[in-house]
C-alpha cells in the first residue's frame, strides 16, 4: 500500500511550449549536403582550422575561471539533488536518553534508554518529496546546460579575440607603413616650401596627415595590447607567444611617396574557420545549451506546482525506536529490558492563514515566468542566428567591393603623385589620395575581421562547441556523474 500510494504525484503533465518563431530562418539558406554535419553538430576542434588557435582554446578550457565556476556549480547543485533524494528515505541513528523527574509520592522517577531511533520520517503518500526531488533534478540538469553554454561562449570568445588580434596586428603594420610614407611626404613638402616651390597650405596639410597617422599608430598599439590582455583573461594565463597570430613583416626600407602598397588578398577564412550550415530553427531547441537550460528550469517550476498541491493533503510521518530501556543505569543492558516504540502521526491542514494557497499561486506564477524565459531564450537564439546569416550573405560581397576600392585607391594615389611630379596637379591632390587610400585599407582589414567574427558568431548562435555523448541522453545522474537529460 505504501508503494502504491507513494506513486501518487500532483505534478502537472509537462508539455513543451510551442516555439514562438518561424519554421525557417529569414533569407536564402545554403543547402545541406546529404550526410554532412550541421553547424550545431560540428565540434569546436573541427570548426577551428588553425592549429595555434585550437591549442589556445584547449588552454582556455583547462584554465578559464568562469568555466571552472560553472563546473563547480554543477557539483553544488548535484549535492542539493542528493539531499532532496535522501529526504524520501528514513534517517536512522543511535540514540541515548536519560530522564529524572519527581513522582507523585515525593520520590524521583528515572528512565534511561539506548538503541536505534528513526526521527520523524515523512511518508510521501502524496508525492510532495518526489516533486521536490524532480525539481532538484531539473535544476541539476540546468546547471549542466549552463556549463555547456559557458564552454560555447568561451570557445567563441577566444576565437573572436584571436581574430581581432590578427586584424589589429595587420592594421598596425599598415599604419607603420603609412607613417613612414607620410614622413617622406612631409620631408618633401618641407623641402619644396623652403625653396619656394610650394605654399604653406601644402606644408600644413602634410603635417596634419602625418600627425593623424601617428595618432592612428598609437591607437593600433593600444588595441593590440588590449587584445593580448583579453586573451590572457580568457585563457587564464599569459598566452604563449607561439600561439598568437603571426605579425606581418615590415619592408626593409621605408616607402617613398610614390611607392604604393596594394593590399594583399587575405588568407581564405576556411583556413582558420570552417563553414557552418545553419539548419532549421527546430534544431536550436535541442542544441542550444541556453535553451535547454531554460527548459530544465521550466520543468523544475512545473514540479514545484506538484509539491505545492501536495501540501493541501495530510502529512503522514513516522517516529520509531528500538533498543533497551530501564529505570536504572545498572539494569539498562539486562535481559528483558528490550523494547520498541512506534509513533505514527497524520496532520491534515485546516487553517494556515492561506499559506498553502499562496505557495501554490507562487509556484504557478513561477511556471509562467519560466515559460516566458524559455520563449525569450528561443527568440534570442533565432535573432542571433538570423543576424549571423544576414552577415554571411552580405559581408562577403562587402569585402570583395572594398578590395576593388582599395586597389583603385592605390592606383589613384600613384597617378596623383605622378601628375604632381610632372606639374599637372597640386600637392593637395596627392595628400587627398593618400588619405583615402589609408582609410580604404583600414576599412578592408576591418571588413575581413567582421566576416571571420561573423562565422564565429554563427557557430556560437547555433549552439556549437560541445559534443552530444551517451551521457547526455541518460536519465537521473548518479554520484559523480554530470549527465544531461533530454527534454521531456
Assign 256 a pLDDT band (cuts: 50, 70, 90).
very low
Domain containing 113 — which CATH number?
A: 2.20.200.10
Neighbours of 35 (CB within 10 A): 5
Assign 467 a pLDDT band (cuts: 50, 70, 90).
low
Residues 98 and 151 in one domain: no
Assign 110 a pLDDT band (cuts: 50, 70, 90).
confident
* Segment 280-292, tens digit of pLDDT: 777 788 888 999 9
* DSSP structural state of residue 48: B
Residue 202 pLDDT more than 70?
yes
Mean pLDDT for 145-162 is: 93
Residue 411 belongs to some domain of the structure: yes
Percent of residues, the chain, with pLDDT higher than 90? 43
Assign 113 a pLDDT band (cuts: 50, 70, 90).
confident
Cβ neighbours of residue 21 closer than 8 Å, sequence gap 6 or more: 281, 378, 379, 382
Residue 429 belongs to some domain of the structure: yes
Whole-number pLDDT of residue 57: 94
Whole-number pLDDT of residue 257: 43
Q: Which of 329, 347, 365 corresponds to the end of one domain? A: 347
Residues 280 and 379 in one domain: yes
Residue 488 belongs to some domain of the structure: no
Between these two residues, 266 and 75, which has the higher pLDDT value?
75
DSSP one-letter string for 224-236: HHHHHHHHHHHHT
Whole-number pLDDT of residue 254: 42
Whole-number pLDDT of residue 473: 38
Residues 204 and 268 in one domain: yes
Contact (Cβ atoms closer than 8 angstroms) between residue 177 and residue 250: yes
Whole-number pLDDT of residue 2: 52
Residues 112 and 149 in one domain: no
Q: Cα–Cα distances in Å, from 99 out to 312, 326, 328, 329?
A: 37, 11, 10, 11
Whole-number pLDDT of residue 91: 87
pLDDT-wise least confident of 171-180, 228-237, 255-264, 324-333: 255-264
Task: Give the span between the Cα atoms of 322 and 310, in whole angstroms.
Answer: 31
* Segment 29-61, tens digit of pLDDT: 655 444 455 666 788 888 898 899 999 999 999
Whole-number pLDDT of residue 98: 82
Residue 433 belongs to some domain of the structure: yes
Mean pLDDT for 239-263 is: 64
Residue 379 pLDDT more than 70?
yes
Whole-number pLDDT of residue 6: 52
* Segment 343-376, tens digit of pLDDT: 888 888 888 899 999 999 999 999 999 999 999 9
Task: Give the span between the Cα atoms of 127 and 129, in whole angstroms.
Answer: 6
Residue 418 belongs to some domain of the structure: yes
**Measured between alpha carbons, how far apart are the two ends of the chain, in Å?**
29
Mean pLDDT for 118-138 is: 89
Residue 8 belongs to some domain of the structure: yes
Mean pLDDT for 291-314 is: 93
Residues 318 and 378 in one domain: no
In which domain, by residue range, is 188 found? 2-88+124-313+354-473
Residue 298 pLDDT more than 90?
yes
Mean pLDDT estimate for the chain: 83
Assign 482 a pLDDT band (cuts: 50, 70, 90).
very low
Residue 343 belongs to some domain of the structure: yes
Between these two residues, 116 and 332, which has the higher pLDDT value?
116
Residue 163 pLDDT more than 60?
yes
Residues 64 and 203 in one domain: yes
Residues 326 and 418 in one domain: no
Q: Which pTM does this prediction carry? A: 0.82
Residues 18 and 112 in one domain: no
Residue 488 pLDDT more than 60?
no
Residues 210 and 274 in one domain: yes
Cβ neighbours of residue 370 closer than 8 Å, sequence gap 6 or more: 294, 297, 298, 300, 301, 302
Mean pLDDT for 51-75 is: 93
Domain containing 137 — which CATH number?
A: 1.20.1600.10
Residue 305 pLDDT more than 50?
yes
Residues 334 and 204 in one domain: no
Percent of residues, the chain, with pLDDT higher than 70? 85
Residues 318 and 433 in one domain: no
Residue 239 pLDDT more than 90?
yes
Whole-number pLDDT of residue 392: 87
Residues 186 and 268 in one domain: yes
Residue 401 belongs to some domain of the structure: yes
- Count of structural domains within the chain: 2
Amino acid at each position: 500500500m505504501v508503494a502504491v500510494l507513494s506513486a501518487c504525484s500532483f505534478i502537472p503533465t509537462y508539455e513543451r511550449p510551442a516555439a514562438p518563431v518561424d519554421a525557417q530562418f529569414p533569407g536564402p539558406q545554403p543547402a545541406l549536403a546529404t550526410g554532412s554535419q550541421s553547424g550545431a553538430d560540428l565540434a569546436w576542434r573541427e570548426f577551428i582550422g588553425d592549429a595555434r588557435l585550437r591549442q589556445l582554446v584547449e588552454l582556455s578550457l583547462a584554465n578559464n575561471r568562469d568555466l571552472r565556476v560553472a563546473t563547480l556549480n554543477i557539483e553544488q547543485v548535484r549535492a542539493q539533488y542528493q539531499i532532496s533524494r535522501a529526504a524520501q528515505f528514513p534517517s536512522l541513528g543511535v540514540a541515548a536518553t536519560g530522564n529524572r523527574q519527581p513522582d507523585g509520592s515525593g520520590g524521583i522517577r528515572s528512565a534511561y534508554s539506548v538503541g536505534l531511533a528513526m526521527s520523524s520520517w515523512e511518508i510521501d503518500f502524496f508525492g510532495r518529496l518526489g516533486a521536490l526531488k524532480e525539481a532538484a533534478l531539473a535544476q541539476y540538469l540546468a546547471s549542466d546546460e549552463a556549463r555547456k553554454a559557458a564552454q560555447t561562449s568561451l570557445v567563441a570568445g577566444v576565437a573572436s579575440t584571436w581574430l581581432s588580434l590578427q586584424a589589429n596586428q595587420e592594421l598596425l603594420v599598415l599604419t607603420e607603413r603609412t607613417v613612414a610614407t607620410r614622413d617622406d611626404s612631409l620631408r618633401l613638402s618641407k623641402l619644396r616650401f623652403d625653396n619656394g616651390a610650394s605654399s604653406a597650405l601644402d606644408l600644413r596639410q602634410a603635417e596634419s596627415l602625418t600627425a593623424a597617422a601617428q595618432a592612428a599608430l598609437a591607437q593600433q598599439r593600444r588595441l593590440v595590447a588590449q587584445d593580448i590582455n583579453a586573451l590572457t583573461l580568457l585563457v587564464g594565463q599569459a598566452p604563449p607567444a607561439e600561439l598568437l597570430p603571426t605579425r606581418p613583416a615590415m619592408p626593409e626600407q621605408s616607402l617613398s611617396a610614390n611607392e604604393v602598397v596594394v593590399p594583399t588578398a587575405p588568407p581564405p577564412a576556411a583556413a582558420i574557420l570552417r563553414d557552418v550550415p545553419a539548419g532549421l530553427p527546430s534544431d536550436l531547441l535541442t542544441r542550444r545549451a541556453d535553451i535547454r537550460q531554460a527548459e530544465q528550469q521550466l520543468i523544475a517550476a512545473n514540479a514545484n506546482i506538484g509539491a505545492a498541491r501536495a501540501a493541501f493533503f495530510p502529512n503522514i510521518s513516522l517516529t520509531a525506536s528500538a533498543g533497551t530501556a530501564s529505570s536504572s543505569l545498572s539494569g539498562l543492558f539486562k535481559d528483558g529490558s528490550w523494547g520498541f516504540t512506534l509513533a505514527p502521526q497524520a496532520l491534515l491542514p485546516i487553517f494556515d492563514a492561506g499559506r498553502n494557497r499562496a505557495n501554490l499561486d507562487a509556484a504557478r506564477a513561477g511556471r509562467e515566468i519560466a515559460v516566458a524565459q524559455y520563449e525569450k531564450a528561443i527568440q534570442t537564439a533565432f535573432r542571433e542566428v538570423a543576424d549571423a546569416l544576414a552577415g554571411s550573405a552580405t559581408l562577403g560581397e562587402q569585402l570583395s567591393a572594398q578590395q576593388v576600392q582599395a586597389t583603385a585607391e592605390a592606383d589613384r594615389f600613384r597617378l596623383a603623385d605622378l601628375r604632381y611630379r610632372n606639374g599637372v596637379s597640386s600637392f593637395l591632390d596627392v595628400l587627398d589620395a593618400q588619405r583615402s587610400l589609408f582609410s580604404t585599407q583600414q576599412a578592408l582589414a576591418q571588413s575581413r575581421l567582421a566576416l571571420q567574427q561573423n562565422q564565429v558568431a554563427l557557430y556560437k548562435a547555433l549552439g556549437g562547441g560541445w559534443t552530444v555523448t551517451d551521457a547526455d541522453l541518460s536519465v537521473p545522474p548518479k554520484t559523480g556523474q554530470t549527465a544531461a537529460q533530454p527534454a521531456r
